[in-house]
Amino acid sequence: MKKIAIACDHAGFDYKEIIKKHLEGKYEVQDFGTFSKDSVDYPDFVHPAASSVERGENEFGILICGSGEGVAITANKHQEIRCALCWMPELAELARQHNNANMIALPARFIAAELAVDIVEKFLNTDFEGGRHQNRVSKIATC
């Protein structure tokens, strides 16, 4: 069973709960918070989730905030993280196929919850194509 990290800020809390419920029984989900709609600083939740993916404790990560931008920027500060901001399933598919993305960022204020679930499903069920893309992915790291 794939292990998935999930984290959000206050704007993404409702979507996090919806996505977690959808994933129950299909994946082992580790929830890094937040655990309410109270205003929080998203890096406090994103960094631990990204670290868990970076260390291999979780295979993939799902991040949610209002725009998706803040959580994606934060996650991508981690050397081994490739987090893609996605607002449609096709972007999630390409992020996996071409970039071997291991985390996804969702913009809760700009997509419907049902679409968020569809994007997550596409992300989790698409494989990296490797081949010519592997050479490019290998060049992403800066150190």
Secondary structure of residue 3 in the 3-state scheme: strand
65 is catalytic: yes
pTM over 0.85: yes
26: confidence class by pLDDT, cuts 50, 70, 90: very high
Strand partners, 142: none
| Cα–Cα distance measured from residue 93 to residue 103, given in angstroms and rounded to the nearest whole number | 12
CATH architecture for the domain at 3-138: 3-Layer(aba) Sandwich (3.40)
Mean pLDDT of 117-134: 90
Query: pLDDT tens, 98-112?
Result: 999 999 999 999 999
Candidate list 10, 47, 98, 133, residue with the active-site label: 98
78 is catalytic: no
Candidate list 8, 65, 83, 86, residue with the active-site label: 65
129: confidence class by pLDDT, cuts 50, 70, 90: confident
